[in-house]
Structure 1
């Protein structure tokens, strides 16, 4: 179960002044600005439920996912996933999640995806039989059997997404973000 209570995250950014004089001024003294990325968010997701996050650009969807996975620390409130605190990043918790963020790839540009899958199988301590069975099933389901042997740089965007999805699902995570 995922339980989020009053999650809030703010970060500091810097404002830029306009023109040459502004650039010179910014060089010596930058003006800070507090940005609220996620404000007082609360929800519960029970076992077996599927939830989608929708919203406009800049609404905080990716920040919320990063909070749920422990990538970013929570400033206020609590997030508990199966009695684990994501920001503690304990191995047991990390083995239960899969994360697919469109702008971040875990595939290595010059290598074929299979090399990344081999590394992930070792990291997640998958047995050889379990790993190969899961990889074969996923690559067949996503029509990516031949793609996993091509360098990532030669794949189209859609093909890369298929290969990313295989990487995320390879260890059979309980939670997929």
Structure 2
């Protein structure tokens, strides 16, 4: 179960003044601006439920996912996933989640995806039999059996997304973000 109560994330940015005088002024005294990325978000997702995040650009969808996975620290509120606090980044918790963010790739550009999968199997301590069975099943389901042996740079965007999805699902995470 995922339980989020009053989750808030704020960060500080610096505003830049226009013109030469503004640049000189900024050099001596920077002006700060407080930005609220996620404001007082609360929800519960029960076992077996599937939820999608919908919103405009800049609405905080990716930021919320980063909070849920512990990538970003929570400023206020609480997030509990199966009695674990994501920001503690404990190995047991990390083995239960899979994260697929569009702008962040796990695949190494010059290597075939299979090399990344081998590395991930070692990191997640998957047995050889379990790893190969899961890899074969995922690559067949996603019609990517031949793709996993080609260098990532030679794959189309759609093919790369398939290979990314295999990487995320390889260790059979309980939660997919």
SS of equivalent to 1:107: coil
TM-fit CA distance, 1:25: 2.2
Q: What are structure 1's unaligned runs of at least 5 residues?
A: none
Counterpart CA distance in 2 for 1:160 and 1:25 is 46
Counterpart CA distance in 2 for 1:25 and 1:155 is 48
TM-score normalized with structure 2 length: 0.98
Q: What are structure 2's unaligned runs of at least 5 residues?
A: none
SS of equivalent to 1:80: strand
TM-fit CA distance, 1:22: 1.9
**Backbone CA RMSD of aligned residues:** 0.7
TM-fit CA distance, 1:115: 0.5
TM-fit CA distance, 1:20: 2.4
Counterpart CA distance in 2 for 1:114 and 1:20 is 52
Counterpart CA distance in 2 for 1:146 and 1:7 is 43
TM-fit CA distance, 1:29: 2.1
What pairs up with 1:147-166 in 2 under 5 angstroms?
147-166=147-166
Q: Which structure 1 residue ranges, 4+ long, deviate > 6 Å from structure 2?
A: none
TM-fit CA distance, 1:19: 1.8
SS of equivalent to 2:77: strand
SS of equivalent to 1:36: strand
Counterpart CA distance in 2 for 1:132 and 1:109 is 23
TM-score normalized with structure 1 length: 0.98
State how many pairs are aligned: 177
